[in-house]
């Protein structure tokens, strides 16, 4: 039930009422548990569907799209339980993300099962029944956003919201063949969300495709003054010049650092993902995973677990015996940490942040297994804490280090279970990661979620013409690749995007008395020349000022029109500087001119 297919159906004869009726028919036949903790009254959902029929489909990007939310996310008039009946309360208003999605035309169906108080990556720590992978009922669904993932993978809704502190929006995506988007902390408002670790929590998105996830992110995102941890990127934040370039660099751990805890099938699938991403233009760069793993250890083996206690302190003191025993043990154990422990851990995290930053200097994004392996429900019962910890090996450090991540399906195992990998980037790079994730998804997988519907029937997600946090700059002379001033671009993190030509109404000159030799470009309205060869580079926005400041007279930076009609920043020259210059327009470019001098 991907969004694109649903919109095609609506453009034909299907109505939102038809879709809602079908969903409730399935729920009534299958029962609530274990996917749902509660569903909205059918009459309320039908009334919502009927109201949409009177609205303009084209003005609502999520028109008639059914979705679910994890039951730690508030929905007005519906109980929020966090998978603990004794904790339940009925909020007067919906979480900001829910309200924004409904404003975009989406139809909320209900609230999904989860590991209690979002504490776990397994999906078994709940009194509402254990969700399993849609591919094998003996295997866990992953948690804590278990029901949210399964509701999408089983085709009940088109997308769902989870939360992700330690990997809860990514591990269930792997076990159910879904895309799991964990955006940068604060990009999606947490107002109206029961906190787990308030300083680290993220609302996450499960979808069948990266395109669907991007659409939901656009509708739900944005600054929210109700959430003190809400953020909006500043100028240049999340700069991703690599996203528009034909090649990029991706980090892969050294082979000895990878741990699959005895699984014999996933290592080969991970290697296949590395090879696929390489074929898509990536250059694998080996890096030391150890400082990232050391960071991950801080989440549950350090004082951050005390945030979980802070979130429900009054409740746990009164109702500890009503909680899942494993969850109660983890959260109540936080009492042993002191303020000194918290500061010591903060110092250690900052030191690790500095070490890991050095690794990021060598690559643009990271490719890791989403989880080392899948476990059966029985295996989790044998060692609930230890094996839960295994599942967070490659996820626990991400929020601590303020990174963005997209979990993506990466092929099927011989035993019929799905495998998945995660693309990880710096803060605010989620919109750059999603198109890469989409390409990798299409290279490694054929079907959507738990269905047999073909991924190839969906439209690929195109990268932004101008990547997040960047500015496009056209260069024509000494800044071209291989020329003496090209370092001024590369030293600022610039990436070559493409080679093209200007529009035809430009004249080109070899300027006199410039060191190194430089050309000048002048626009002459009405002139019809050959167009001048240029290179378009993507520069991080925050570096553009220093670059422009270094441009000497008579050169300047202005708007250039390219042969396709688009406008980019680029080098121009003051017309009077051409009086004693040599016109070289007929040669079509600086490299041709340099060759003519030999």
Cα 461 from Cα 181, distance rounded (Å):
14
| Residue 290 burial (10 A CB sphere; 0-12, 13-18, 19+) | middle
Q: Which of 144, 160, 240, 541 is catalytic?
A: 144
3 state DSSP class of 509: strand
DSSP 278-312: HHTTEEEEEE--HHHHHHHHHHHSSTTHHHHHHHT
Q: Please provide the size of the chain in residues.
A: 598
Contact 386, 122 (CB under 8 A): no
Torsions phi, psi for 170 (to 5 deg): -120, -45
168 assigned to active site: yes
Cα 269 from Cα 412, distance rounded (Å):
8
Contact 225, 197 (CB under 8 A): no
Q: Provide the H-helix boundaries in 31-176.
A: 42-52, 96-103, 146-153, 171-175
Q: Angle CA(374)–CA(429)–CA(191) in degrees, nearest 5? A: 80
Radius of gyration over every alpha carbon of the chain, rounded to an integer in angstroms: 27
Quick one: which of 468, 576, 459, 467 has its CA closest to 522?
Answer: 576
70 assigned to active site: yes
Q: Which of 132, 148, 151, 168 is catalytic?
A: 168
**Strand (E) positions, 66-224?**
66-70, 107-112, 132-133, 136-140, 159-164, 179-182, 202-207
Q: Residue 325's CB: how many other CB atoms inside 10 A?
A: 11
Residue 145 DSSP class: S
**Cα separations (Å) of 13 from 9, 31, 47, 295, 529?**
7, 29, 19, 52, 53
Contact 132, 138 (CB under 8 A): yes
Write out the catalytic residue numbers: 70, 144, 168
């Amino acid at each position: 039930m991907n969004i694109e297919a649903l919109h095609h159906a609506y453009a034909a004869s299907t109505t939102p009422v038809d879709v809602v009726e079908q969903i409730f028919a399935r729920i009534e036949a299958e029962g609530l548990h274990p996917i749902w903790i509660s569903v909205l009254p059918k009459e309320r959902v039908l009334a919502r569907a009927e109201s949409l029929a009177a609205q303009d489909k084209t003005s609502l990007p999520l028109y008639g799209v059914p979705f679910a939310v994890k039951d730690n996310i508030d929905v007005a008039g519906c109980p929020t339980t966090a998978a603990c009946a004794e904790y339940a309360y009925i909020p007067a208003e919906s979480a900001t993300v829910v309200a924004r999605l409904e404003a975009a035309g989406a139809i909320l169906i209900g609230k999904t099962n989860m590991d209690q108080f979002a504490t776990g990556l397994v999906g078994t720590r709940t009194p509402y029944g254990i969700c399993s992978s849609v591919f094998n009922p003996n295997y866990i669904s992953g948690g804590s956003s278990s029901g949210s993932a399964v509701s999408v993978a089983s085709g009940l809704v088109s997308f769902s919201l989870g939360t992700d502190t330690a990997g809860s929006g990514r591990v269930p995506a792997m076990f159910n063949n879904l895309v799991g988007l964990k955006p940068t902390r604060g990009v999606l408002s947490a107002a109206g969300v029961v906190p787990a670790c308030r300083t680290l929590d993220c609302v996450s998105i499960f979808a069948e495709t990266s395109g669907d996830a991007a659409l939901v992110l656009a509708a739900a995102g944005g600054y929210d003054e109700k959430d003190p941890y809400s953020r909006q990127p500043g100028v240049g934040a999340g700069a991703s010049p690599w996203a528009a370039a034909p090649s990029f660099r991706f980090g892969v751990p050294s082979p000895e650092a990878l741990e699959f805890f005895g699984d014999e099938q996933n290592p080969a699938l991970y290697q296949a993902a590395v090879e696929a991403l390489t074929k898509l233009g990536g250059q694998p760069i080996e890096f030391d995973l150890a400082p990232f793993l050391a960071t991950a250890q801080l989440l549950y083996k350090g004082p951050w677990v005390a945030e979980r206690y802070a979130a429900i302190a009054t409740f746990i003191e009164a109702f500890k015996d009503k909680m899942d025993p494993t969850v109660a043990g983890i959260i109540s154990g936080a009492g042993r940490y002191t303020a000194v422990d918290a500061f010591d851990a903060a110092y250690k995290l900052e030191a690790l942040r500095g070490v890991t930053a050095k690794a990021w200097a060598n690559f643009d994004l990271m490719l890791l297994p989403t989880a080392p392996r899948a476990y059966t429900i029985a295996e989790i019962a044998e060692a609930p804490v230890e094996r839960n910890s295994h599942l967070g090996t490659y996820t626990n450090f991400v929020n601590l280090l303020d990174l963005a991540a997209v979990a993506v399906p990466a092929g099927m195992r011989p035993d019929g279970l799905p495998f998945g990998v995660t693309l990880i980037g710096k803060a605010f790079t989620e919109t750059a990661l999603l198109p890469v994730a989409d390409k990798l998804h299409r290279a490694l997988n054929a079907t959507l979620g738990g269905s047999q519907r073909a991924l190839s029937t969906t439209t690929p997600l195109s990268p932004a013409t101008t990547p997040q946090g960047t500015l496009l700059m056209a260069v024509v002379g000494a800044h071209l690749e291989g020329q003496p001033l090209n370092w001024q671009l590369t030293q600022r993190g610039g990436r070559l995007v493409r080679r093209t030509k200007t529009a035809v109404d430009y004249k080109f000159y070899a300027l006199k008395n410039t060191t190194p030799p430089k050309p000048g470009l002048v626009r002459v309205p009405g002139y019809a020349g050959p167009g001048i060869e240029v290179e378009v580079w993507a520069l991080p926005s925050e570096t553009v000022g220093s670059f422009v400041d270094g441009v000497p007279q008579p050169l300047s930076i202005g708007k250039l029109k390219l042969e396709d009609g688009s406008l980019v920043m680029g080098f121009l020259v003051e017309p009077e500087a051409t009086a004693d210059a040599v016109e070289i327009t007929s040669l079509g470019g600086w490299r041709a001119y340099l060759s003519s001098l030999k």
